[in-house]
Amino acid sequence: MPGYILRRLLGVAVILFLVSFLTFCIFFLLSPDPAVMICGKTCNPARIDQIREQLGVNQPFLAQFWQFLSGIFAGRTYGEGAAAIHCAAPCLGFSFQTNQSVVDMITARLPVSVTVAVGAAVLWLLIGISAGLVSAIKAGTWWDKGAMMFALGGISLPNYFIALVLQYVLVVQLQVLPFPSTPDFGEDPLFWFQSYIMPWTVLAFGYASMYARLTRANVLDTLGENFMRTARAKGLPSLLVLRRHALRPSLTPIVTLFGMDFAGLLGGALITETVFGLNGVGKLAADSIGKNDQPVIMAVTLMAAFFVVVANVVVDLLYAVLDPRVRVKS
Amino acid sequence: MNRTESKARDDGGALLEVRGLTVTFGTPRGDVDVVRDLSFTVDRRQTLGIVGESGSGKSMTSLAVMGLLPKGATASGSIRLDGVEILGKSDAALRKLRGNSMAMVFQDPLSSLNPYYTVGLQITEAYRAHHNVSRKAARAVAIEALDRVRIKDPHLRIDHYPHQFSGGMRQRIMIAIALCCEPDLVIADEPTTALDVTVQAQILELMADLQAETGTGMIFITHDLAVVSQVAQDVVVMNGGVQVEAGSTEQIFSAPQHDYTRALLAAIPRLDDDLEELKMVGDFRTGATR
Amino acid sequence: MTTMPTQLAVETEEKGSPFSGGGPSSARRVIRTMRKSPAVLFSAGFIALITIMAIAAPLLTHLSGWGPYEYDPSAVNADLGGIPNGPLGGIGPTHWFGVEPQSGRDIFARIAFGAQVSLLISVSATLLTTFIGVVLGTLAGFYGGWVDQVISRLMDFLMAFPSLIFMIALLSALPAGNRPFLLVVVLSVFGWPYMARVVRGQTMSLKNREFVEAAYASGASRVRIVFREVLPNLTGTIIVMATLSVPGYIGTEAGLSFLGVGVTPPTASWGQMIASAVPWYATDPMYFFVPGLFLFLTVLSFTVFGDHLSKAIDTGEAR
Amino acid sequence: GGGAKVGAGAKTGEPQKGGTVSVLLNADYSHLDPAMGFDGGVNNFYRLIYRTLTTNSTVAGKTSEMVPDLATDMGKSSDGGKTWTFTLKDGVKFEDGTPITSKDVKFGVERSFDPALGIGSPYARTLLDDGSGYKGPYADKGKDFAPIQTPDDKTIVFHLNQPFADFGSVVGQNSFVPFPVGSGAGTAFDAKPIASGPYKVVSYNRGSELKLARNTNWSAATDTVRKAYPDNLDFTFGLDGATIDERMLADQSGDKDAISGGSLQPANVSRVQTPQIQDRAVKTTAICTTYMGMNTTKPHMSDVRVRQAINYAIDKSSVQTASGGSQLATIANTIMVPSLLGRKDFDLYPSTGNKGDIEKAKALLAEAGLSNGFDMTLDTRGTPMIQAQSQAIQQSLAKIGITVKLNVIDSSTFYEVIGTRSQQHDAAITGWCPDWASGATFLPPILEGKNITDKGNSNLAQLNDPAVNKQMATIAAMTDVDAANKAYGDLDEQIMKLAPLVPLVYQNGLQLTGSNIGKSVIGFNGGVDLVTVGLANAAK
Amino acid sequence: MSAGEPLLEARNLVKEFTTNTGGVLSGKKRAFRAVDDVSFAVGRARTVAVVGESGSGKSTTARMVARLMPADGGSVLLDGEDVTHGTGAALKHFRSQVQVVFQDPFSSLNPRHTVDRIITAPLDYQGMGVPGGKRQLVKGLMERVGLNPDHSGRYPSQFSGGQAQRIGIARALAVKPKLLICDEAVSALDVSVQAQVINLFKSLQAEDGYSIIFIAHDLAVVRQIAHDVVVMNRGAVVESGTRDEIFDNPTQPYTRSLLAAIPTINPEWEARRRVNEQRERAALT
Ligand SMILES: Nc1ncnc2c1ncn2[C@@H]1O[C@H](COP(=O)(O)OP(=O)(O)OP(=O)(O)O)[C@@H](O)[C@H]1O
Ligand SMILES: Nc1ncnc2c1ncn2[C@@H]1O[C@H](COP(=O)(O)OP(=O)(O)OP(=O)(O)O)[C@@H](O)[C@H]1O
Ligand SMILES: [Mg+2]
Ligand SMILES: [Mg+2]
């Protein structure tokens, strides 16, 4: 088991390395010169060179990549002598646009993304799984049809569409909610909740739809399994049969799926955060892309990949714990 | 084992009495009777063998008795357990009987155990559903049950998951589940097909002992005629959903009346037989397709 | 965008083949089953409608009298920020679905031409991902060993990738060039693993079926086994997956256009139309609603159609 | 007809002192360090926390004028305009109470010579460069920067490398903000600036929030420009444009004390209909010209008749609609924006209703032998408004047979691409804004021959007309600033005869203020001048 | 065993598998010998039955003999030639000489192929032409195995188990092999159908002199069909000999226990039934 985890972590490292390398390559090859962008409207070649040196983008590709990588583990120093700026260990560089430490930028925004992700996850699990369960147990009834119509809606409606309609109806027209912003929970819990409820709902709608469909399919499959018949033949109460024998096998695959989806969201809900003006990692990514702020894009990409890859490992381990049949491959 | 005719036959106290049982499937192409007008009786301490080729409705009959017919199937006729009509009873009422008064060993041991739970839990939950005992006491019962079906090291194996057992062992665990509550009626649907001949012999013996101890009545379903000849007192022969012949085992094996029964008996390869052409069972399958 | 859990080095015990030993469900039977459902009729009808609309877009705009790029300043009010004249976003006999604010371009024409783009992109991406996914998936599933390792790791890698962020970054960094083409490429690069994984899994279970061994015993080469024995058993899966991936790509293209990295104006795509309608959602809701409705109905139709198709094929197989 | 009636500074109530004004913004300010920040938005903001030797007036209608700020006057020149001497006022202090000396001003200017910092306003660097390769007070620590002398704590003398008549305006630029000697290395000021103006930064969460509080060491007596009504200003960043509009339109509780940092979006212009909202809408003036530069080195574009034809052909009214309609954009016929001093109003290529004169255009094209039209490529950006403008141009030119292909360049790289001569196409849509109210910061940068460079080129037309160049040199040498400004106004017309570009629109704005915001002034930078904002009722 | 040179000979075959053992997450590897030094020979026109309980290595042995799985040791000789490692033309020749009939009739037939395609697959795969045309061949083979030739366009699912197994046999016969390897070819069928298939094998052998390796665990079936018997237990050959030797005088305790555990019908009943039957027959005539 420890050997296995070690192997998996090594795999994580390799994938992250590849992700960073690829991202680096693409930005290195495709992106315009950041120095020229920074230089602004009154620029001359000499200044561009100065800025390039300052940013360290005058070096060859591999050297830059190496600096970037070693910066993550050992920190790095920009510039020389008195003007040198040190960037401590998990160093992902400084934003080209704002000169802020990228790590600081991300850590400042991560709580928002986490809040969005956690709230949405709670909602979508609750709604998705219960809707799926009800429609599986009442398969063929209007309950089932209603839930599945709802699910189809969630799958077919783009989330920015839902987001805007929701905002228009609830905030602009009915004024039951204030305009969302990014408040602290401690300051004003009610406003905090009111601000996040829409992003949660919008995100949860899409995911809940998918989870409802999946849960329904899984539960239907499980209900048809022979072991369900065995359980009933034992004379167990029907609720126990459902809870113990039907639910666990149906939900195990969903748990693993959930791990991945959740991790994906931690990397930022790009569209939802943008629409609702939440200052999370997703919005940071969108903004940075708009400004071509490479260090930030790199960092967000890496971080998102990190979450997903780690979730992948966790999910696999979890699966092995949840499903006794699972064997870890050598 | 080979006791002569059971007496307690028509004293009205039959354990299970099935009369005119018909199982119907509603399919898009109309209703199909997979069991038609079947009648038989099982007494205490008695074993009724049901034989017949694959698809002849053996499993459906037993599921009808348990009230566990799959969706889309309906049963009609009469099924009396201990004199009480149970066909058409509510699921809640049947639940009280299942496991306790009647238990079933399902045909497919691989898929009939929940892969997510230890066999221990799956045995104890059956016991605890009907006995108000502590977890610990139930565990003791389960270990005992495992031991009885000849699983070695039951106190260790009780915490294993189904996939850690071989097919034959899983079949024995199914038997343990069915027997742990010492039900009045056990329906065993091909309980030994996955077993080696040697283990099969042991299990058959075990079931016979148990029957002697607790007076359980049993329905033993198989298509292995030799096995039936050893365990059953009475035999029902089924073909295409109908009973073609019924009677005491001796009667069926020594003087079969129906052509199908005869053909079936003739098709059995025998160790002591001459190397002659095996008799084929009529034209039941050839040519016709379904 | 949701990812499925990977099978990174974790395997469940053979669950038994997904094929219930039944015969192939003939296309005719599937069609017969499908024809009975009103939902299928509706969705197939709508898919047909937008397909015709896309193909006949030039003809249709000829009939309606307004091209997709033609300005109609008389239809908008320059003093009010360019909002369409008249109620419902300018819907009327001249402009069937109303006009775009500011420019007065005809929304009907843009919807029709937008259908071209949206369908072209999603269908091409589906074809490409299906092709790559099936080839790599069968290879991985069938050959196992290092081939599987390489392909599976590649799939893990691509699926671990924060693809939306990356797609946006990539598309904004790439020269505009031929955007639809780029979109297809980018969507396919990140999309094929989903098809490949399913195909790989099925191939792995098919590979263990005795008929593959029988084919070996009959003297078949591996390539022949893949193409003649394994692939025919995957067609149902592939068709269903492909049908279900079309709406996914339509949605993703729309999302990318929404984020400003989709097709470049003046070309219309539904996503780009919705994106430009966003600021107008309060003052000209129709501008937002019309493409939104088309997008919704299209995605819904493909999803419903795919669902029913998979159900029909499944039950066909079980019989 | 029937457009919204919006009066500039529609409100009448003079603001009160005290309270908190909040400002809702889409994007954060580029830099809090004035050596780096250099755009209209941040220039407006800097005046809240920084002071310079001179600065723009806050007198309504005269905001183009520069007035003394830290300095007692607009400076005294000698040596034919090459040496400029300023004297600091008494009682000017930094936020910690230390007096501002001429050394601090010098240090502030020196900072902009640091390669890492000096990415902002370029004038100090271009006018004070002595060729010594000075790298700023951090890298070249201890080195004396000769061009600036501080004979005493009150006096500062600048030695320019060329005569510059309007240097009094230059010292109002961002690079002349004083800082305590030795402070502000690296990016320190981007996080925590040292204030010299009426407000200081209390907390700053980049990208989301910035809070200002009154700087108690600022003395109103020394400052004739800034009103500084509220006690606090809260800036919220990262709000979606549409959300800002909705909030401002809704005017709910807290937003009554708010102003929007930018203009209303075109989509919401039609909602400014009711008197209540009209009362809260401020029509801001244009400081930038949006134009289409034509690359005079390209085959067809090199022909002045073709360029004139294009000037005639473009339906500027549809460009105006695309830019947000009459409320948000004024049709432009001159290169220079109306707010520039000495600017001349003219229209060399008139048409009825500004819908374009197709006949004249066709005739000119025919003259040029291109009566069948031709294909051209227009470099443009993906932002909605510029998209709309480009497509309107595309439509107009189609009418005279010119097929325009749009080359959409990502916003983040747009200027780099079009500033690289080898990558320039036939035309590009761009804009230009002045640094102060003089043609000097408008015409030469975008139209003088010597400004054509291979990279970072701002003369997009690549116009290198000897007559124009000569006139520019002549004006630059003039010592009478007013005469020079007027000369630029005439030069504008001279250049437009050559039609190197098509002025499209002057982008105005419609800024919304909360119902509790008092009367304010529109500053030189276009929007509501932040130093004039205050609450109508501070007790509420 | 039989006189003369055997058709096929297996010499000292060995197969090892590495398996994972232990708990859920630990993965200790262990080499496990599934087939351990197995040798036997198959004479011409003879049937060799391989018996033994489940997991004793029968299928693995058969797979190695059929060249469906590489052997870890030992060799296989066909007509005296070593074919253990042959490739290309040698393998092709081997495939035309040795064909396999599988256990599960449905699983071994591609559900997406029609019967005629299934039957002619070996010809296709081996690139063999058919003198009388494929149609004729399919018709002949189907008749041969007792299937209605009109059903050649059907899919496997449209047949019963016994019929499906016949399709598998027809496929094996298509290339006119000399040896049929039948791995539990009747175990999945119920008694009545089993009988049909066993009879088919017997008649095929009688008519065309096929050699057969017949794998089964049902000794009663074996007794019906085999000439020679190989008894396997835990991967090794425990005992081998002619049918009568094994059944009448088993020397090994394992063989004896196998034989003893077979359930039987009370011989008395049997005898009575026969008497009854004879009586009835007599009454009829
Ligand atoms: N869900 C169903 N729908 C329709 N027919 C069914 C269904 N389930 C079973 N049947 C049919 O019912 C008949 C009886 O099936 P049953 O399982 O009782 O056979 P069996 O005698 O137990 O056979 P086996 O020996 O193979 O277990 C079969 O012909 C089968 O095809
Ligand atoms: N691919 C494999 N990997 C690992 N172990 C295997 C593999 N194939 C077979 N085995 C093991 O080898 C042993 C022999 O298997 P084999 O299939 O030859 O048995 P068998 O005699 O045919 O049994 P049965 O009668 O059940 O078919 C078994 O213990 C089996 O678990
Ligand atoms: Mg059955
Ligand atoms: Mg086997």
Domain ranges of chain A: 2-91, 103-329
What phi and psi, each to the nearest 5 degrees, are found at residue D312?
Answer: -70, -40
Residue contact C280–D267, C-beta within 8 A: yes
Look at residue D129 in the predicted model and tell me its pLDDT. 85
Residue contact A235–B130, C-beta within 8 A: yes
Interface of A with D in 87-106 (CB under 8 A): 94, 97-100, 105
Look at residue D402 in the predicted model and tell me its pLDDT. 93
- The number of folded domains in chain E is 1
The boundaries of the domain holding residue E66 are 8-98+180-284
Q: D240, D435, D451: which to substitute to probe chain A, counting the most A Cβ within 10 Å?
A: D240
Q: Residue type for A64, please?
A: Q
**At what angle are helices A281-291 and A102-137 packed, to 10 degrees?**
120
Write the residue with the smallest CA distance to atom 3 of ligand 2.
E17
Residues C81, C82, C87, C88, Cα dihedral to 10°:
-110
Look at residue B219 in the predicted model and tell me its pLDDT. 93
List, for chain D, all residue ranges whose pLDDT scores fall below the cut of 70. 1-12, 412, 540
Asked whether E67 lines ligand 2 (CB < 6 A), one says no
pLDDT of residue B152 exceeding 70, the answer is: yes
The pairing of strands D509-512 and D427-432 is: unpaired
The answer to the question of residue C1 being in a domain is no
- On whether the CB atoms of residues C288 and C280 are closer than 8 A, the answer is yes
Exposure letters D10-28 (e unless 16+ CB within 10 A, then b): bbeeebbeebbbbbbbbbb
The pairing of strands D232-236 and D427-432 is: unpaired
pLDDT of residue E24 exceeding 50, the answer is: no
Q: pLDDT, tens digit, for every residue of C111-133? A: 999 888 888 898 999 999 999 99
Confidence band, pLDDT 50/70/90 cuts, at residue B220: very high
Alpha helices in chain E (DSSP H): 58-65, 89-97, 115-125, 134-144, 161-173, 191-208, 219-225, 243-248, 253-260, 267-284
Query: Would you say the ipTM is above 0.90?
Result: no
The pairing of strands B47-52 and D76-78 is: unpaired
pTM of the complete model beyond 0.80: no
Give CA–CA dist D197/D46, Å, rounded: 8
State the CATH number of the domain containing residue E84. Answer: 3.40.50.300
Ligand 4 center to E60 CA (angstroms): 7
DSSP assignments along D161-181, one per residue: SS--TTHHHHTTSGGG----T
DSSP assignments along D447-514, one per residue: H-GGG--SSS---TT----HHHHHHHHHHHT-S-HHHHHHHHHHHHHHHHHH--EEEEEEE-EEEEB-
pLDDT of residue C70 exceeding 90, the answer is: no
Angle (CA) A298-A302-A304 rounded to 5° is 120
Residue D265 C-beta-side C-alpha neighbours within 13 Å:
26
What is the CATH topology of the domain spanning A103-329?
A: MetI-like fold (1.10.3720)
pLDDT of residue A31 exceeding 70, the answer is: no
Look at residue A68 in the predicted model and tell me its pLDDT. 79
Exposure letters A246-267 (e unless 16+ CB within 10 A, then b): bbbbbbbbbbbbbbbbbbbbbb
Q: pLDDT, tens digit, for every residue of A3-23? A: 777 877 888 888 888 888 887
The answer to the question of residue C152 being in a domain is yes
Look at residue E23 in the predicted model and tell me its pLDDT. 43
Look at residue A79 in the predicted model and tell me its pLDDT. 60
SS3 at position D10: coil
Mean pLDDT, residues A80-86 taken together: 60
Q: pLDDT, tens digit, for every residue of A173-203? A: 787 777 766 666 777 778 788 888 888 998 8
Partner chains of C (3+ C-beta pairs under 8 Å): A, B, D, E
pLDDT averaged over every residue in chain E:
83
Pairwise pLDDT comparison (D145 vs B110), residue with the higher score: D145
Residue contact A289–C12, C-beta within 8 A: no
The boundaries of the domain holding residue C170 are 6-76+91-318
Mean pLDDT, residues A154-171 taken together: 80
Nearest Cα neighbor of B112 from B47, B194, B16 is: B194
Asked whether E63 lines ligand 2 (CB < 6 A), one says no
DSSP assignments along C268-295, one per residue: --HHHHHHHHGGGTTT-HHHHHHHHHHH
pLDDT of residue A156 exceeding 80, the answer is: no
Q: pLDDT, tens digit, for every residue of B184-219? A: 899 998 887 767 777 788 888 888 887 888 888 999
Residues in chain A: 330
Give CA–CA dist B259/E271, Å, rounded: 18
Ligand nearest to the CA of B223: 1
- On whether the CB atoms of residues D37 and D121 are closer than 8 A, the answer is no
Look at residue D335 in the predicted model and tell me its pLDDT. 92
Confidence band, pLDDT 50/70/90 cuts, at residue B170: confident
Ligand 4 center to C218 CA (angstroms): 19
State the CATH number of the domain containing residue C21. Answer: 1.10.3720.10
pLDDT of residue B273 exceeding 70, the answer is: no
The answer to the question of residue E230 being in a domain is yes
DSSP assignments along C135-181, one per residue: HHHHHHHHH-HHHHHHHHHHHHHHHHS-HHHHHHHHHHHS--SSHHH
Report the atom number in ligand 2 closest to the C-alpha of E232: 21
Mean pLDDT, residues B154-158 taken together: 89
Asked whether E60 lines ligand 2 (CB < 6 A), one says yes
Alpha helices in chain C (DSSP H): 27-35, 38-55, 57-64, 107-143, 145-160, 163-173, 179-207, 210-217, 222-224, 235-258, 270-277, 285-318
Residue contact A327–E27, C-beta within 8 A: yes
Give CA–CA dist B31/B25, Å, rounded: 5
Q: How many CB pairs under 8 A join B and E?
A: 134
pLDDT averaged over every residue in chain C:
78
Q: How far is CA D213 from CA B79, B122, D221, D231, in A?
A: 89, 70, 19, 6
Q: pLDDT, tens digit, for every residue of C7-33? A: 333 333 333 333 333 444 566 777 777
SS3 at position A215: helix
Smallest CA–CA separation between C219 and chain E, in Å?
6
Residue contact D325–C172, C-beta within 8 A: no
pLDDT of residue E1 exceeding 60, the answer is: no
Nearest Cα neighbor of C9 from A319, E21, A255 is: A319
Look at residue D211 in the predicted model and tell me its pLDDT. 94
Smallest CA–CA separation between E113 and chain A, in Å?
28
Q: pLDDT, tens digit, for every residue of C186-231? A: 889 888 888 888 888 888 878 877 888 888 888 888 888 888 888 8
DSSP label of D412: G
Give CA–CA dist D46/D39, Å, rounded: 10
- The number of folded domains in chain C is 1
Smallest CA–CA separation between A107 and chain D, in Å?
12
SS3 at position D204: strand
